[in-house]
């Protein structure tokens, strides 16, 4: 099912970039854990359940008029690594902010995301799933 997981993340990213939705709420397991605890994000912590994920996105997106990114997805079995290079425009300042390169790791079970973790270094995300660049 790993290729399908990559396709699910790709579709969610493309919908987000096209402004059609927040990140794929239909992909979330009822017990999902959304881990932004690494601390470099302006909103860090662990969010639980679909409502917790919605809270994360509301808080993160509140500051930004636009969020754009380039990405590459890596199949890691029941996990998908998203290697991201992101830039945003401040909602109140209209200033372009390069967030830079970072990564997400999505863990799937039965076609749903059960865990997500943000990594400020792409190499750390790859290492977490047993891969190296």
- Tally of domains within the chain: 1
41 compared with 127, residue with greater pLDDT = 127
SS3 category, 115: strand
pLDDT at 42: 64
Per DSSP, the residues of 45-97 read SEEEHHHHHHHHHHHHHHTEEEEEEEEEEEEETTEEEEEEEEEEEETTT--EE
pLDDT tens for 98-115 read: 888 999 999 999 999 999
CATH code, domain carrying 49: 3.10.450.50
pLDDT at 65: 86
pLDDT band at 122 (very low <50, low <70, confident <90, very high): very high
Does residue 6 lie within any of the structural domains? yes
What average pLDDT does this structure show over 8-37?
Answer: 87
Q: Residue 41: is its pLDDT beyond 70?
A: no
pLDDT band at 23 (very low <50, low <70, confident <90, very high): low
Does residue 98 lie within any of the structural domains? yes
pTM comes to: 0.90
Pairing verdict, β 46-48 and 28-35? antiparallel
Residue 101 φ then ψ, to 5°: -85, 135
pLDDT tens for 51-75 read: 999 888 888 888 888 889 999 999 9
Does residue 133 lie within any of the structural domains? no
Average pLDDT for the chain:
89
99 within 8 A of 106, measured Cβ to Cβ: no
pLDDT at 43: 73
Enclosing domain of residue 30: 2-128
What average pLDDT does this structure show over 13-20?
Answer: 85
Does residue 16 lie within any of the structural domains? yes
Does residue 61 lie within any of the structural domains? yes
Report the residue count for the chain. 133
Helix (H) or strand (E) holding 15: helix 2-17
Distance CA 93, CA 91 (A): 6
Distance CA 53, CA 59 (A): 10
């Amino acid at each position: 099912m790993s290729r399908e997981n990559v396709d699910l993340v790709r579709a969610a990213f493309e919908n987000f970039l096209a402004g059609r939705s927040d990140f794929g709420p239909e992909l979330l397991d009822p017990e999902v854990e959304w881990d932004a605890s690494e601390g470099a994000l302006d909103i860090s912590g662990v969010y639980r359940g679909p409502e917790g994920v919605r809270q994360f996105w509301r808080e993160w997106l509140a500051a930004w008029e636009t969020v754009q990114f380039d990405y590459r997805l890596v199949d890691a079995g029941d996990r998908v690594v998203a290697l991201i290079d992101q830039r945003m425009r401040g909602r109140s300042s209209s200033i372009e902010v390069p967030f830079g390169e970072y990564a997400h790791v999505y863990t799937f079970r039965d076609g749903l995301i059960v865990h997500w973790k943000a990594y400020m270094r792409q190499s750390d995300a790859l290492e977490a799933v047993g891969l190296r660049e």
